[in-house]
Structure 1
Amino acid sequence: MLRQFLPISALLLGSAFLLFGGGINALILPVRGSAEGFSALSLGLLGTGWAVGYVSGCIMTAPLVARVGHVRAFGAMAAIAAISILFSAIMITPWAWILLRGICGFCFAGTAMVVESWLSDQVAPASRGRVFGVYTMVNLAATTAGQMMLTLGDPNGFVFFAWAAIFYCLALVPTAISSSSTPVPLASVKLNLRSLWRNSPVAVFAVFWVGVSNASFATLAAVYAERVGLILAAVAVFTSVPILAGALMQIPVGLMSDKMDRRFVLVGVAVLALAADLGFLLLAPEGRMLNLVLAALLGGSIYAMYPLIVAHANDHAEPGSSIQISGGLLLTYGVGSIIGPLLAGYAMAEVGLRALYLVTAFSHLSVILYTIWRISRRVAVAEAEKTSFQPATAGRTSTLQTMPLGHVEDETELAPKAV
């Protein structure tokens, strides 16, 4: 097995550096912005800016790489991302941060797509599932470690911005000196809502609202935790526990969804998420332990929904269209990610701190009600016709290259052909 991973170790290391810096950046901005007195609305717009940039990066990176090549595009975007983080430390104003966060989101999507394209090109179909699992674990571990790094110092200085920039630059090194051959062209997917809706209305409706809820929570969870009175170490844990819980929940969710109607599983997971939302709203927790328990329940639910929705949509996909379907859902998720932090930030500014969970609760209730209605209107896919559930990272860290990287060929396709 070690022999399989040695050729791609440089790419995995580059991805780890990328996500480590991204973890620092994602947490230092809301924590520092809150300390600077930024409103909840402006902090929510940081998430909207990131989502606009990220979706734009997913769409525009493929033609950019086709024009200048993988290595040059990766180097340019990693450098620009580092510059944007450093500018955030110099220009401490909400509107500058929103613009810079959008630029960083664009670059982050582009660099991740190059790494994933390279991995897809280097990995044989037979071992793609194992490699994708390791890649996912590396990304989750690096993101969590980056967020936890904020417990080691004072967020009010320059140092964490510098560390994030350093790791963005370090991500450039492994790919720059790699001797791997030039990767295959990047995937490019256009958003065709009519085709997506015909394929699976539940998937389109649900992935939009999951984008709203997930991006709202991911952007403003640190703001909530800091303003509810948690110390910095607890804030870092509060934002990290949901990611890890989401990774663990994909195992039971995947097993259940492969054996029964995925829509029932989606309703069940959304009910758990709604229960966590109501826990935050009705119990109004202020202590560390209850907040962490509810955050784990919420994260375990919301971060397991995206791959479940993608699997359900692919059950209905025409042969050969699964990548297009998954890519279209990712872009639809991105649209929800643009709207969600804006709504949640406005609600927190006008209604109060826990209004964040009014937005997520409305999103999850919408998913529950619409999915139940669709169950009564359309029969489930036969078990023999289902695609396999593929664990995936949270939607806002997926790219159009994640789908082909995580796609495992059918065993019959891997078997030697008779001659």
Structure 2
Amino acid sequence: MLGSLFSVSSLMLSTLLMMVGFGLASYVLPVRSVAEGWSTMTVSFIATGYTLGFTLSCIVTPKFVLRVGHVRVFAALITLLSIAILLCGLVIDWRAWIFFRAISGFAIAGSYLVIESWLNEQVTNENRGMLFSVYLITTMVGTIGGQYLVPLGDPTNTSLFILCGVLFSLALLPTALSSQTMPAPPAQARFDLAGLFRRSPVAIVGAFLAGAMAGAWLNLGGVFTQKIGLSTAEGATLLAALLFGSSISQIPIGRASDRMDRRIVMVGCGIAGVGSCLAMVFAVNASPITLYIIAAFVGSVLFPIYALNVAHANDLARPNEYVEVSSGMMITYGIGTISGPLMVGPVMDRFGPASLFVVLAIYFAAYGAYAAWRIAKRNAKDGLVGKTDFQANTVPTPGTEAVNAMNQAINADNETSGRPA
């Protein structure tokens, strides 16, 4: 086991440093936005730039990797990450930030793709579970650690932006200097959303709603913490509590969905999401400890639900269709993450920060209700090709689940082409 960990140590270190930078950026930017007096709608436009760039990168970056290789692409993307966050510190204008955040989204999505495809190349069936568990922990620790750097600095000046740029630059070194064998080129994405919807409507609808919820929270959660009067340290803890809830719930939810109709688990997640979000609405003025506990319950279903939809879609697919299915789910999720902030931002401006969780509760209700309706429409075994295993996601970021879908496509391509996975 130690040998397997050592073989991917450079990848893990790069991931840790990159996620520390990402966690810092994802919290310092909304805090600075609130300090500048920008409306929640304005912050939503900035977030949309990020998700647009992220989704575009999931389509474009594999083509660059095919041309020049993983390491060169990774170096270019990390450079873009550093440039984008430094420009955000230098040019305080929300219109410019939309463009800068689009660059960030493009760069970090491509970075995930390089790191995770490289990691997939190094693991075997015997150590895959253990190594990806370490990867999950690494991403969670990095994200949370970066968020806790915000209280140590002043978001109203450039110091935290410079620190973030330094962290991103440091993330390049372990991978650039690694002597490990380069990974095989990723598979090219193919899309057939209409065919995927005909085969599994609940997967497509669920992926869109999951993306909308994740996009809304991850881009406006920091605004929520500032608007309700939490300090930067308390806000970081609330964000961390939600991620912690997500990390501990994925395996139980996955195991339950492997043992029964996944749509039943979707209904249960929808009910749990409605209850926890409404609890947050009524407890918005409660003590920070109470908010942390409720946030963990929200997170326990907010992020794992996308993996349910991916697993359900793959249940209805043949092995040679996994690339097409994963690509379609990726795009659907990406569209959801783009729409989420745009839908929620105006509501928060009109009705206050707690309305974020009212909208999330509505999304959860729609998610669970649609899954229940599909259960009534189609028997669980109709069209089933072979039930696949649930796969937990990395610590969620805006669209990270989309990159996970792309990496599932890479795995499928490896298996069909005979390359080691």
Please report the TM-score for the alignment, with normalisation by the length of structure 2.
0.93
Would you say the 8 A contact 2:348–2:354 is kept in 1?
yes
CA RMSD, Structure 1 to Structure 2 (Å): 2.2
**Gap change, CA 1:251 and 1:124, over 3 Å in 2:** closer
Would you say the 8 A contact 1:17–1:168 is kept in 2?
yes
Match of 2:387 in 1: 386
Deviations 1:73-93 (A, max 9, x none): 111111111011000001111
Match of 1:155 in 2: 155
Deviations 1:221-265 (A, max 9, x none): 111111101111100011111111101011211121111111111
Deviations 1:78-129 (A, max 9, x none): 1111011000001111111121111100000111111112112222233222
Match of 2:89 in 1: 89
CA–CA distance in 2 between the matches of 1:122 and 1:201? 35
How far is the alpha carbon of 1:286 from its aligned partner?
4.2
Match of 1:180 in 2: 180
CA–CA distance in 1 between the matches of 2:55 and 2:209? 16
Match of 2:400 in 1: 397
How far is the alpha carbon of 1:55 from its aligned partner?
0.4
CA–CA distance in 1 between the matches of 2:16 and 2:269? 29
Please report the TM-score for the alignment, with normalisation by the length of structure 1.
0.93
How far is the alpha carbon of 1:324 from its aligned partner?
2.7
Would you say the 8 A contact 1:128–1:405 is kept in 2?
no
CA–CA distance in 2 between the matches of 1:222 and 1:286? 18
CA–CA distance in 2 between the matches of 1:22 and 1:185? 25
How far is the alpha carbon of 1:176 from its aligned partner?
1.3
How far is the alpha carbon of 1:318 from its aligned partner?
1.7
Q: Which moved more, 1:287-296 or 1:368-377?
A: 287-296
CA–CA distance in 2 between the matches of 1:323 and 1:146? 33
How far is the alpha carbon of 1:405 from its aligned partner?
7.2
How far is the alpha carbon of 1:401 from its aligned partner?
4.3
Match of 2:328 in 1: 328
CA–CA distance in 2 between the matches of 1:240 and 1:101? 22
**Gap change, CA 1:170 and 1:379, over 3 Å in 2:** same
5+ long unaligned stretches in structure 1 = 414-419
CA–CA distance in 2 between the matches of 1:252 and 1:402? 23
Deviations 1:314-354 (A, max 9, x none): 11112332243123212211100001011111111123222
Q: What does 1:235-274 align with in structure 2 at a 5 Å threshold? A: 235-274=235-274
CA–CA distance in 2 between the matches of 1:121 and 1:67? 19
CA–CA distance in 2 between the matches of 1:6 and 1:324? 34
Match of 2:54 in 1: 54
Deviations 1:279-313 (A, max 9, x none): 23344434312222221111111112111111111
Match of 2:307 in 1: 307
Would you say the 8 A contact 2:202–2:371 is kept in 1?
yes
CA–CA distance in 1 between the matches of 2:185 and 2:117? 8
Q: Does 1:337 align with 2:340?
A: no
CA–CA distance in 2 between the matches of 1:202 and 1:169? 41
Would you say the 8 A contact 2:192–2:324 is kept in 1?
no
**Gap change, CA 1:146 and 1:96, over 3 Å in 2:** same
Match of 2:74 in 1: 74
Q: Which moved more, 1:150-159 or 1:228-237?
A: 150-159
Deviations 1:127-169 (A, max 9, x none): 2222222212211111111111112222222121111111111
**Gap change, CA 1:405 and 1:241, over 3 Å in 2:** farther
Aligned partner of residue 121 in structure 1, secondary structure: helix
**Equivalent residue letter for 2:42:** S
CA–CA distance in 2 between the matches of 1:371 and 1:150? 40
**Equivalent residue letter for 1:235:** G
Would you say the 8 A contact 1:316–1:381 is kept in 2?
no
Would you say the 8 A contact 1:71–1:176 is kept in 2?
yes
CA–CA distance in 2 between the matches of 1:242 and 1:118? 29
How far is the alpha carbon of 1:191 from its aligned partner?
3.0
Would you say the 8 A contact 1:119–1:405 is kept in 2?
no
Aligned partner of residue 48 in structure 1, secondary structure: helix
Match of 1:365 in 2: 365
Would you say the 8 A contact 2:214–2:303 is kept in 1?
yes
CA–CA distance in 2 between the matches of 1:297 and 1:159? 34
Aligned partner of residue 154 in structure 1, secondary structure: coil
Runs of 4+ aligned residues of structure 1 deviating over 6 Å after TM superposition are none
**Equivalent residue letter for 2:211:** G
Would you say the 8 A contact 1:129–1:406 is kept in 2?
no
**Equivalent residue letter for 1:224:** F
CA–CA distance in 1 between the matches of 2:410 and 2:237? 30
Q: Which moved more, 1:378-387 or 1:265-274?
A: 378-387
Q: Which moved more, 1:55-64 or 1:116-125?
A: 116-125
CA–CA distance in 2 between the matches of 1:401 and 1:352? 37
How far is the alpha carbon of 1:47 from its aligned partner?
2.0
Would you say the 8 A contact 2:326–2:409 is kept in 1?
no
CA–CA distance in 2 between the matches of 1:122 and 1:87? 36
